[in-house]
Amino acid sequence: MYTTHFGLRELPFGITPDTSYFHPCPSSQRALNTLLVAANSGEGFIKITGEVGTGKTLLCRKFMSVLDPSFVTAYIPNPLLQPRGLMSALAEELRVPVSRDLDEFQILKAINYRLLMLARDGKRVLLCIDEAQAMPIETLEAVRLLTNLETEKRKLLQIVLFGQPELDRKLEDESIRQLRQRITFQYCLGFLDRAEAALYVRHRLQVAGVEDALFSPGALAALHAASRGVPRLLNILAHKSLMAAFGERRKMVDPSHVRAAAGDTPTALQKFQPPWAWLSVAVFVTGVVSVVWMVIE
């Protein structure tokens, strides 16, 4: 690959969530702050939403990695489960032995006992559910029932839902309005603007071992335009752009490499206008208006 050519220790633009590459841009940092404040409050549900590729899974893993040792975390990455399946998954995360012949009530009872033991030891338990928009309505209701597990002083289990905007639409269902009312903290991840995207690229290159600029200003502008500020798509395009520059034995990525990467990426905005395109369009329009005005006169 191109790591040696550019002096990199590793590939900087992988799409596997790696917390060492977490970039505290304003949106991500505010979301992380919201999670930490909410977790320490110990009450209710927490909801984080964002479009595909905005970094929800990376945020989730970063959040769990920075919690203090008093927290015990459980993580369910694929919640497309029926209520019993979800409870079994939670039991497994909490190291609660569950046999196949136990019904939902018995599993819930076993989980409750484990949570009481953890609370006795001064631990707080936090369940993070990724891709929460995939949960059936009845499973969401089962999740709500899990938060009924409590002592006289506090909840035994706190739940964080990470999901796409479809989660919000699902929560509008009247049958789970009680869950919706229990969401005390929420945040919606946005896209990166042009300046944030440039800082994002620089941050990942620095983590991978390079301080020098490998992308020209024009290439950075083209990356943002083609990716529309979606971090995952930006990673894909930046990786392919570096490959294109490496193929030409170039030490810096320019807009032509980004255009080649966008042309090879179906989800990219392939017909984006480079920064100078608007100038040529303006000149063309001005010329046309002048000609029309002369004809009218």
Last residue of a domain, one of 189, 224, 255: 189
Tell me: do 149 and 271 sit in the same domain: no
Q: Answer yes or no: are the C-beta atoms of 219 and 254 closer than 8 Å.
A: yes
Which domain covers residue 72, as residue numbers?
26-189
So what's the pLDDT on residue 295? 37
Dist. CA 55–CA 283, nearest whole Å: 40
Has residue 18 been placed in a domain?
no
So what's the pLDDT on residue 293? 38
Tell me: do 185 and 205 sit in the same domain: no
Dist. CA 83–CA 80, nearest whole Å: 10
pLDDT tens digits for range 122-132: 999 999 999 99
Has residue 147 been placed in a domain?
yes
Name the percent of the chain in helix, strand, coil, to the closest 5. Answer: 55, 10, 35
Lookup result for tokens 């752009």: 241
Has residue 2 been placed in a domain?
no
pLDDT tens digits for range 139-171: 999 988 888 888 777 889 999 999 999 999 999
Instruction: Produce one character per residue of 102-131: b if its CB has 16 or more CB atoms within 10 Å, e if not.
Output: beeeebbebbbebbeebbeeeebbbbbbbb
Dist. CA 102–CA 98, nearest whole Å: 7
Lookup result for tokens 């019993």: 84
Tell me: do 110 and 232 sit in the same domain: no
Has residue 296 been placed in a domain?
no
Has residue 289 been placed in a domain?
no
Q: Answer yes or no: are the C-beta atoms of 110 and 98 closer than 8 Å.
A: yes
Has residue 168 been placed in a domain?
yes
Tell me: do 168 and 217 sit in the same domain: no
Dist. CA 159–CA 186, nearest whole Å: 12
Has residue 52 been placed in a domain?
yes
Has residue 13 been placed in a domain?
no
pLDDT tens digits for range 268-297: 876 655 444 433 333 322 343 343 333 344
Instruction: Name the nearest CA neighbour of 269 among 231, 218, 226.
Output: 226
Instruction: Provide the β-strand partners of residue 127.
Output: 74, 159
Q: Answer yes or no: are the C-beta atoms of 24 and 32 closer than 8 Å.
A: yes
Q: Which two tokens stand for residue 297?
A: 């006169």
Positions of the chain with pLDDT under 50: 274-297
The CATH number assigned to the domain holding 245 equals 1.10.8.60
Tell me: do 181 and 47 sit in the same domain: yes
Using the Cα atoms of residue 96, residue 102, residue 105 and residue 106 in order, give the sign of their dihedral: negative
Tell me: do 219 and 142 sit in the same domain: no
So what's the pLDDT on residue 68? 93
The CATH number assigned to the domain holding 51 equals 3.40.50.300
Tell me: do 171 and 225 sit in the same domain: no
Q: Give CA angle at 286 (285, 287), nearest 5°.
A: 90
Tell me: do 164 and 203 sit in the same domain: no
Tell me: do 178 and 196 sit in the same domain: no
Tell me: do 219 and 176 sit in the same domain: no
Q: What is the pTM of this model?
A: 0.87
- In the three-class reduction of DSSP (H, G, I as helix; E, B as strand; rest coil), residue 71 is classed as strand
Q: Answer yes or no: are the C-beta atoms of 112 and 166 closer than 8 Å.
A: no
Instruction: Provide the β-strand partners of residue 126.
Output: 73, 158
Domain count, the chain: 2
Long-range own/partner contacts, residues 286-290 (CB < 8 A, 24 or more apart): none
So what's the pLDDT on residue 23? 94
Cα–Cα distance list, 51 to 16, 162, 167, 189, 253 (Å): 17, 11, 11, 8, 28
So what's the pLDDT on residue 43? 75
Tell me: do 157 and 230 sit in the same domain: no
Last residue of a domain, one of 189, 223, 252: 189
Tell me: do 250 and 106 sit in the same domain: no
